[in-house]
Amino acid sequence: MARKRTVTSILRTHVGVVPHRAKSPKYAEIHSRLQGAEVGVSVCPYCAVGCSQLVYHRDGKLLSIEGNYESFINGGTLCPKGSATYGLVVNPRRVTTVKYRAPGSDHWEEKPLDWAMERIAQLVKTTRDATYVHQTPDGRTVNRTTCIAHLGGATLDNEENYLIKKLFGAGLGMVYIENQARI
């Protein structure tokens, strides 16, 4: 009967004596930079594949973002773009405030978020009031405006897209609602 050979026995035959659990003192002191870190589960902010990510952090500081090996979508992997998510979060040049360029202006201004939300709401109302169509010239009821559009991003989930469709379509009468749907 053939004896089952282990990796250690094969090495012993071909290389020589193999110490049990060989480990140098220096090696024994080395540990992962993520050792003891807390980890949260997130989703890649980029495309419609929706890869799961593990977000490692310690003392409120982000350490690393890696592929979630428990995900049935990406199985621990991330594409080059998803792998750069850490760089997106910690990049000091990341834009984190509202930038506004007035009509005819050649430069951007910084504005408070509340100001931007109010302005968007007012422009939506003004445009909808001015362009809403109840009936087409041949008498068909349409109750719509074709002068406002919505373009969603890949991080919007099913529930958010449901609400967007409900508010913008049924509520405001918008026709052009597009998204990169996923999760």
**Where do contacts with ligand SF4 occur on this chain (CB under 6 A)?**
44, 46-47, 49-51, 74, 78-79, 81-82
Query: CB–CB of 160/180 below 8 Å?
Result: no
Helices (H) and strands (E) in the chain, counts: 6, 8
Q: Enter the DSSP assignment of 72.
A: T
C-beta of 75 vs 112, nearer to ligand SF4? 75
Beta-bridged to residue 111, according to DSSP, are: 98
Min dist CB 73 to ligand SF4, Å, is 8
Beta-bridged to residue 149, according to DSSP, are: 176
The identity of residue 168, as a single letter, is F
Min dist CB 60 to ligand SF4, Å, is 25
Min dist CB 55 to ligand SF4, Å, is 14
C-beta of 78 vs 174, nearer to ligand SF4? 78
Q: What are phi and psi of 84, to 5 degrees?
A: -90, 10
- Tallying the residues shown for the chain, one arrives at 183
Min dist CB 46 to ligand SF4, Å, is 3
Residue number of the CB closest to ligand SF4 reads: 82
Min dist CB 80 to ligand SF4, Å, is 8
C-beta of 46 vs 168, nearer to ligand SF4? 46
Q: At CA 37, angle to CA 32 and CA 39, rounded to 5?
A: 115
Calpha distance 85→168 (Å, rounded)? 31
Query: CB–CB of 173/144 below 8 Å?
Result: yes
C-beta of 66 vs 168, nearer to ligand SF4? 66
C-beta of 82 vs 173, nearer to ligand SF4? 82
